Structure 1
Amino acid sequence: MINRVSTFSQYQNLTSNLMRKQGAVNNTNEQLATGKRIKTAGDDPIASVSTQNYKQQLVQIEQFQKSITLANNRLGTLETSLKNVESHIDSAKQKVIGMINGAMAGDDKTAFKNELESLYEGLLNLANTQDEGGNYVFAGHQVRTQPFVEGNDGEVAYNGDSGHREARIDTSVHVKTSQPGDLVFTGMNNPFGDFRPDYQGLQPESGLSLLSATNQDPSDPTNYRVEFAEDGAGGFTYKLFNGNNQQLDSQPYDPAKGVQYTDPDPDSKIQLSFQFDGELKDGDTVSLNRTDTIDLFQTMNDVIRYSEEPTSSSEARASLQRSIEELNAAYVHMNQRRAEVGTGLKTLETYEAQHLDFELSLNKAKGSLEDLDYSKAIIELNEDMLALQASQAAFNQTKQLSLFNYL
């Protein structure tokens, strides 16, 4: 009987060693195919944990980048709308300046009125601008509600709120991507101060207009009225009334000082200062309505209302001059709103660059842990192949050994 020299235990050891060598070759081949050194956490537990952390940060950066892209689109739409509003305001102002020109013919004024009505409609459409998602840009948080609606009386009502939409572009950084319509179109600073003049009480050929009107008491909602009268000596006196038609003061009028009034009540903070310009006429009356802000649509309606009035009308001339001042203030206001958008766009640009740099650093760090060193892997593959071939040769020789070979 012929017996094998190798025992079952030796055979089993050789088989296991051959399988390990084959597994090492397969593993290296798979690494070369994928370019990754780590396939499972067991390959390198410490590096695997760090790699997962890097991947989570990269996912977060991707979310921030998508948010930045969306914010850029929204701010781009907002900036374009504000730029067009500026253009409409400037055009309207030029038309008003032309209408004040006394040499303008009636047909010219009618044409200007038509153009002003077109500008008004354009402003209303711009105020109801929608973004790529159909959301109203100037509606605050009420993005599905049309913010500005014109009533049957010609008054424009705002149906949005005072909120700002925001985009999160970093862990604790948010950028405003919208501006509410009440701020943009109805919240412009009053160029005269705290009151808006009403010139319906001016006499024919009067050249009176308001320069400024302030009240040191911000909580006083009272409207006032100033009446001028000749004093019989070549000068004028004025009477000051409140909204209840109560006379508060009567003094000689000094154009350099204007109308000055301090409430005699020691607990009151009311202190009025009204400055006027232009030639007075006996009986001139100016009503001063308390308002801290102006409404662009009201200004445009006033312009259209007085556009066909004769230039000899003191009320029309003074009211159109008031509109010019308000349109100037509106233009500055829109420029400020655009500057705010520009600041937001600059912030997005800065954080986008930061995220790209950080993403590059994270990928580099992650790659140093999980990416394969090809030159090293090829050397290891060659070594494993040689070891596998040697093991296969040894196995083949060993399994054929028997006593018969030595007899």
Structure 2
Amino acid sequence: MRISSVTMFEQSVSSMNRQQSDFLKVSQQIASGRRVVNPSDDPQAASRAVGVDQARAVTQQHADSRVSARNALAQTESVLNSVSDAVTSAKTLLVQASSETLSDADRQSVASELRGVYETLIGQANATDGNGRHLFGGYNDSTEPFVKQGGKIAYVGDDNAREQRIDASRLMKVSDNGEAIFQSVPSGAGHVATAEPGNTGSVTFKGPQIVDQESVKPNQAYTITFSGDAASGYAYEVQDGSGNPLTPAIAGGYDPESDEPVRIEFEGLALELEGEPSAGDSIAVNPADQGNTSLFATIENALDVLENPTDNAADQAALRNTLSTSMRELDNSLDNVLTTRASVGARLNELDVVDSVGGNRMLNYEQTLSDLVDLDYAEAIGEYSLRQVGLQASQKAFADMKGMSLFQFL
């Protein structure tokens, strides 16, 4: 069998091309740092790598979402801290205004300071984040959630809380709507006493206090009504929210000249009364969540009595009763703000935990991707040297072979 020179040349060139292709492949792997440069290098590993890379991208999106959520919650926590400070300042001013030694001018001065706190609270309630979105407007975050309507503050935002997905299985609230913060009270806030606006007597109250927790009916409203006159004597009766006397009846005589406050106990609650009533006067004792729950309305009511002079005993009683009610409502509002702030803090802590889990997951994905497609440099360098020697040997063999011809011996 004869082998032609053309066949020898073709085989030699094919061998050199194959050796050069293998050499360039290893060179490309070393240059890129990847074992699987093209899917054809390892189809199974390339397919698995695509799935792992997609999962890693989703995890990174959740990590970016957690950054955004943390910024929103941190701003909310900062604003709520300022709100709690403002409510505490308002409570301090009302305690100061309750002093009987103050004149109308003194109370006007206190009212001026209280109005400053009031305006501060409105500003905090309409606070925005770094993107110009209002923190407490729910999903309606493009406009101010609290506006003045008829001289009163009203909430016009959304009643939902914005949520954001921070992980595949966790949808977290990144804000709370303003109604839940500024116009609500915490569950179990108890009862609040309020003197009816039409009272003409000078009765003032203190409380209510809880004297028997087991007997308290959280959702029951009460009304204490007065009857009689100074000549025949005064009497009181405690009625339920529907105007029916309690069973057993809670009623009795009321002596406005008593040296000690008149203490009335009913269904686990106690109220202390002083001053002289008028027939038909009444005091309502309502569950905190059934009465005024608006922080702004509380301060507005206090401002109304502080900015008006007290010309008689009835005005003085209205002042004391309103301030007493306002202080109780401020306590409830502060508790509500602190409860919301605690919830925000818990969510920030949860973000730290989810961040830690997400970080571990990202490391696992990186390790899996590395195992699938990354290059073992020690092995690759050894193969690079081997391919280089093979290519050089192929080139040397071709160079030696192409010089072999019978014409050299003629």
TM-score of the superposed pair, with normalisation by structure 1: 0.85
Gaps of 5+ in 2: 255-261
User: Following the alignment from structure 2 to structure 1, what is the Cα–Cα distance between the partners of residues 186 and 43?
Assistant: 64
C-alpha separation between the residues in 2 aligned to 1:162 and 1:124?
18
Asked if the contact 1:190–1:196 (Cα under 8 Å) also holds between the matched residues in 2, the reply is: no
Give the letter aligned to residue 361 of structure 2. Answer: F
- Is residue 164 of structure 2 the alignment partner of residue 164 of structure 1? no
Q: Is the 8 A contact 1:129 1:137 kept in 2?
A: yes
What SS does structure 1 have at the residue aligned with 2:40? Answer: coil
**1:141 and 1:165 in contact (8 A); partners too:** yes
Aligned to 1:268: none
Q: One-letter code of the match for 2:114?
A: L
Q: Deviations over 1:254-312 (max 9, x none)?
A: 9665357xxxxxxxxxxxx8642132524372242862561111100011112244496
- Answer yes or no: is 1:387 the counterpart of 2:390: yes
Aligned to 2:178: 181
State yes or no: 1:318 paired with 2:321: yes
Change (3 A) 1:358 1:368: same
Taking the aligned partners of 1:367 and 1:292, their CA distance within structure 2 comes to 63
- Report percent identity of matched pairs: 25
Q: Using a 3 Å threshold, how does the CA distance of structure 1 residues 404 and 95 change in structure 2: closer, same or farther?
A: same
Instruction: Give 1:328 deviation, angstroms.
Output: 1.1
Equivalent residues of 1:227, 1:286 under 8 A apart: yes
Match of 1:404 in 2: 407
Q: Gaps (5+ residues) in structure 1?
A: 261-272
| Counterpart pick for 1:279 among 274, 277, 281 | 274
Q: What SS does structure 1 have at the residue aligned with 2:39?
A: coil
How far, CA to CA, are the matches of 2:164 and 2:353 in structure 1?
Answer: 15
Q: Secondary structure at the match of 2:164?
A: strand
User: Does the 8 Å contact 1:136/1:145 carry over to 2?
Assistant: yes
In structure 2, give the amino acid aligned to 1:283. Answer: S
Corresponding pairs, count: 387
What is the aligned partner in structure 2 of residue 295 from structure 1? 294
Q: For 1:238 and 1:203, how far apart are their aligned partners in 2?
A: 13
Q: Deviations over 1:370-403 (max 9, x none)?
A: 1111121111111111111110011111122112
Give the counterpart of 1:42 among 23, 40, 43.
Answer: 40
Query: 1:7-406 alignment to 2 at 5 Å?
Result: 7-152=5-150, 154-189=151-186, 193=190, 197-200=194-197, 201=199, 203-204=201-202, 206-211=203-208, 224=223, 226-229=225-228, 237-239=235-237, 251-252=251-252, 258=265, 275-283=270-278, 285-288=281-284, 291=290, 294-308=293-307, 309-310=309-310, 313-406=316-409
Q: Alpha carbon RMSD of aligned pairs, Å?
A: 3.1
Alignment-mate amino acid for residue 367 of structure 1: S
Matched-pair contact (CA < 8 Å) for 2:194–2:321: no
Task: Give 1:339 shift.
Answer: 0.4
Post-superposition shift, 1:181?
A: 1.2
Q: Who is 2:259 aligned against? A: none
Task: Specify the SS of the correspondent of 1:136.
Answer: coil
Counterpart for residue 265 of structure 1: none
1:369 and 1:243 map into 2 onto residues whose CA distance is 73
Closer/same/farther in 2, CA of residues 50 and 119 from structure 1, 3 Å limit: same
Q: Any idea what the Cα deviations from partners look like across 1:62-109, whole Å, max 9, x if unmatched?
A: 100110011011111111111111011000000000111122344432
Aligned-partner residue type, residue 172 of structure 2:
V
Contact kept in structure 2, 1:192 and 1:210, CA below 8 Å: no
AA matched with 1:315: A
TM-aligned CA deviation for residue 240 of structure 1: 5.5
Distance change (3 Å), C-alpha of 1:129 and 1:304: same
Q: 1:245 to 1:33 in 2, by over 3 A?
A: closer
Q: 1:393 and 1:247, CA in 2 relative to 1: closer, same or farther beyond 3 A?
A: closer
SS of equivalent to 1:258 = strand
Moved more, 188-197 or 161-170: 188-197
Q: Is the 8 A contact 1:190 1:294 kept in 2?
A: no
